[in-house]
Chains A and B, each alone.
Chain A
């Protein structure tokens, strides 16, 4: 497709369940980012990939959060043993150049995760 695609759009998980969120960046985009957006808040940075290398994971809130991009294209954000505070919209973005957000980044529509 022409844009960043995220799936699923909505996910309801029982507390303690593991979830996997998928991001398909724009073809050829080198940089990929994950953000977490709580209700009524601005997005907060989670992690950043340049190709398959995870250059910054300083925003991951706990060791229950794990992200990967093994072939430098599709990325998966995994959350283990979900907690209610994990409920949020998870946004993925990608950009063409290897200068990260300094060049224009394109966002997907996000995955809304609700933990019950």
Chain B
């Protein structure tokens, strides 16, 4: 069975600084996808970034980038130039290739960006 672990329940960062959120996962699969989702108080999950396991290049979306270490089964999210609007819960998630809808989520990290 696949598992996703986020070991940081809470993180805080000063506005304009950089923060890294950690995620590790366990799987015997070779083909899969990894995601970071943001969940603000409105509860709506918003896709931040995704990574295909077969791609060696780390995904980047504006201020968000990942450090994907396939051998170590690690998938951390780096947020540069943190903004107050980045304050939210962040969830790491995994899905096997062609698994349909069964995303497996970590426990979440609550990020606070302080002015």
Contact = CB atoms under 8 A, between A and B. Distances in A.
Contacts of B45: 43, 91, 93, 107
B46 A45 contact: no
Nearest to B9: A40
Sort chain A's interface into a size bin: 20 to 34
A35 B97 CA distance: 19
Interface residues of B, number: 24
Given A41-B108, A42-B108, A108 B44 contact: yes
A102 B39 CA distance: 20
B103 A107 contact: no
A48 B104 CA distance: 13
Interface in B13-47: 33, 42-47
Contact of A107 (B44, B99, B100, B108): B44
Contacts of A58: 102
Closest 10 A/B residue pairs (Cβ):
A48-B101, A42-B105, A100-B100, A107-B45, A33-B101, A110-B43, A109-B44, A45-B102, A100-B101, A48-B100
25 contacts: A31-B101, A33-B101, A33-B103, A41-B108, A42-B4, A42-B93, A45-B104, A47-B101, A48-B100, A56-B101, A56-B102, A91-B43, A93-B45, A100-B98, A100-B101, A101-B33, A102-B97, A102-B98, A104-B50, A105-B101, A108-B44, A109-B42, A109-B43, A109-B44, A112-B43
Interface of A: 31, 33, 35, 40-45, 47-48, 50, 55-56, 58-59, 89, 91, 93, 99-102, 104-105, 107-110, 112
